[in-house]
Amino acid sequence: MMRKLYDTFVPGPVKSRIYNAHLYAFMRSFRDREVEFINATPYVELSERHIANVKLVTDRIALLSLMPTGGIVAELGVWRGDFSEAILRITRPTELHLIDPWDLLEPGEKVNADLTQSRFEKEVASGRVVIHRGFSHQELEKFSDGYFDWVYIDADHTYLSTARELQLCRTKVRKGGIIAGHDYTKGDWAAMVRYGVVEAVNEFCETYGWEMIYLTNETHRYLSFALRETESGNSA
């Protein structure tokens, strides 16, 4: 009703001024939040040594075709298991560990946990798929060092959480193993959510001597990456 009255009685020029005022306030708020994020987050550019061997691939399905086959894999952040299914089909791991908090964060996520459980019912029964309902850093700590051949991070995408996951995965993947992940981008602009994946990945590579070996090139720019420790590495 209010919308109809607004459309009927508010003159066009006034509507335009109201719209511009709201847009200005929104952009100012966004700029201020971006400045706060930059001031609170390490800003590291990858150097030539971090990208000397990177290969550009079309998308993350193509990325899977380049990952080791038949190994032990973990996916952090599962949602409904769409990408988990692709991992199983393309890389054929002997063990796939699916880690997600699901309803520990939001009660409404229980439906996604149940869907994932039923989706991989046969694989769970055989032991090929193991579902871990918990936060990634807590679940990763339960595994012995060097347990995984590779991992794929697609969790909450904040800087602090991603940085912690990367540091844990560094010890949980075997020597020569791969740490891959999703959403190497500034954020989800449709939802106006700022990510910290780029900052966390770049800082990790610089701190621990890892290099980027694969980077996807989707038009939507929610890119996937894959990292590997360089021969020189860093012991930090």
Quickly list H helices, the chain: 2-9, 12-40, 48-51, 60-64, 82-91, 110-119, 121-126, 136-140, 159-172, 197-208
Question: What is the number of other CB atoms lying within 10 angstroms of the CB of residue 129?
Answer: 23
Render pLDDT for 130-186 as a digit per residue (tens, 0 to 9): 999 999 999 999 999 999 999 999 999 999 999 999 999 999 999 999 999 999 999
Mean pLDDT across 198-226: 97
pLDDT band, very low/low/confident/very high, at 6 (cuts 50, 70, 90): very low
Residues 30 and 53 in one domain: no
Residues 26 and 54 in one domain: no
Residues 154 and 104 in one domain: yes
Q: Residue 206 belongs to what domain range?
A: 48-229
Residues 116 and 21 in one domain: no
Q: Does 157 map to a domain?
A: yes
